[in-house]
Chain A
Amino acid sequence: MSTPTAAEARVAVADPDAERVAAALARDLDDGFAELVRTYQGLVYAVALRTTGHRADAEDLAAEALLRAYRSLADHLADERGDAWLRALAPRPWLLTIVVNVRRNQVRDAARRPRTDGATPPDAPVPGPSVEEHAEHREATEHHAGLLARLPETQRTAVVLRHVTDLPLAEVAEVLGCPVGTAKSHVSRGLARLRALVDDTGGPR
């Protein structure tokens, strides 16, 4: 799944920051990681927020995923083939793959140990204290975030990556670990389902 392919080469070209971040990592791991965090934390947080539905959970997920990325970078770069690995790395889909995997493990662990304290299960977004947003916008945002949460996991991830964070389809496929055609069909099925939910629920205009 992680062997360099033509698709990956295209991915690297599609991300204008990839070369700069990889070069910074090659010079110094810690300074380069700071550059990586500055560059991609907004994107990582956006995907985390729209897959968890909660700001605090999203921050935890984003931080956990970035620390895992750091440890993986450290392991790879300690290896003698580290330079070649870094040259082939497309940082953006690689990072988002870690986010999606960490989230999947969290959901799996939560399912194994069901909460018995009556708290809201992590997948159902509660109205958050996002006072900084205008009330009207917030209402619409929460409504759509709630509908998004009702999609099956893969479709939801595909729709978030493609249409919330505007990731190219090739990178969506990379993150989902599937061919581009399959990724495309996850996105369109997710969208179709979302449109049906919007029609059913009406919702704020």
Chain B
Amino acid sequence: MTTEPTADPDPVLARLAGLAPRDVPDLTDRLFDGWLTTDSLIGPVLVASTREGVTFLRASAELPDDGFMARQEFQEAYRRRFGRPLRPVVDLPEGLEAALHGDAAATPRLDLRGLTDFQRDVLAATRTIPAGETRPYAWVAAEIGRPGAVRAAGTVLATNPVPLLIPCHRVVPSHGDIGRYIFGTPAKRRLLAAVGAAAAGPTSRGGTAR
């Protein structure tokens, strides 16, 4: 493969070979985000997180083949959205389980670094809506100082990376039914009913924000 002289030990070549590092850091922790399944008010969910916090949450399809397809779909969605690999982890991020079962005091850390400022603002405003209350989409847009961006705010909430943890189910249309939800309207109704919010429409304060 090489025609370098090999008869005598060459001090320069020996020194070069010695430049290969002997202590190599394990980059796995840095490259991989973790995923696990756990239970929630709407049933089993798949949750991904980094060391900074939870990045992504989706309902598990509960397929019969041991959840394999659900896991693969989740990984593919994560790959498209974040461009990062996932590996299974065991430890739940602190406060996650309580938050997923409706404990308003539990606020697990979230990692929303991949979002735009607008997306982050919409989600931050939504996170301030107390349990048991709802707000119209227009309230969210007004709250972040972009009263004209009602539809855009709705789009952000429709693709909320961490539903349940950021309660996008508490944002509803100004008139009519409770509106759409990332996990379907019945789940939205169940979630709102679970904490006693009026499931029929927005009746709480803020309902006239626009």
Which of A's residues lie within 8 Å of B, judged by CB? 14, 29-30, 33-34, 37-38, 41-42, 45-46, 49-50, 59, 62-63, 66-67, 70-71, 74, 132-133, 137, 140-141, 144-145, 148, 159-160, 162-166, 168-170, 184, 191, 194-195, 198
**Are B2's CB and A67's CB within 8 A?**
no
Measured in the bound complex, the distance between the Cα atoms of B84 and A122 in whole Å is 27
Nearest residue (CB) in B for A130 is B23
B residues 60-87 touching A (CB-CB < 8 Å): 75, 79, 83-87
**Is B21 located at the chain interface by the 8 A CB criterion?**
yes
Write out the residue numbers on chain B whose beta carbons fall within 8 Å of the beta carbon of A144: 15-16, 18-19
Write out the residue numbers on chain A whose beta carbons fall within 8 Å of the beta carbon of B118: none
**Are A38's CB and B19's CB within 8 A?**
no
**Are A59's CB and B25's CB within 8 A?**
yes
Write out the residue numbers on chain B whose beta carbons fall within 8 Å of the beta carbon of A184: 3
**Is B105 located at the chain interface by the 8 A CB criterion?**
no
**Is B128 located at the chain interface by the 8 A CB criterion?**
no
**Are A41's CB and B18's CB within 8 A?**
no
Q: Interface residues of B: mostly helix, strand, loop or mixed?
A: loop
6 contacts between A and B (CB under 8 A): A34-B32, A37-B28, A66-B27, A67-B31, A160-B19, A163-B17
The residue that B79 contacts in the complex, of A29, A162, A191, with Cβ under 8 A, is A29
**Are A137's CB and B16's CB within 8 A?**
no
Which of B's residues lie within 8 Å of A, judged by CB? 1-4, 12-13, 15-28, 30-32, 75, 79, 83-87
Known interface pairs A45-B25, A70-B83, A144-B15; A165-B31 also in contact (CB < 8 Å): no
Write out the residue numbers on chain B whose beta carbons fall within 8 Å of the beta carbon of A41: 24, 26-28
Measured in the bound complex, the distance between the Cα atoms of B32 and A57 in whole Å is 19
**Are A62's CB and B15's CB within 8 A?**
no
Write out the residue numbers on chain B whose beta carbons fall within 8 Å of the beta carbon of A63: 27, 30-31
**Are B31's CB and A37's CB within 8 A?**
yes
Write out the residue numbers on chain A whose beta carbons fall within 8 Å of the beta carbon of B86: 30
CB distance from A91 to the nearest CB of B (A): 15
Known interface pairs A30-B85, A34-B85; A145-B19 also in contact (CB < 8 Å): yes
The residue that A30 contacts in the complex, of B1, B2, B12, B87, with Cβ under 8 A, is B87
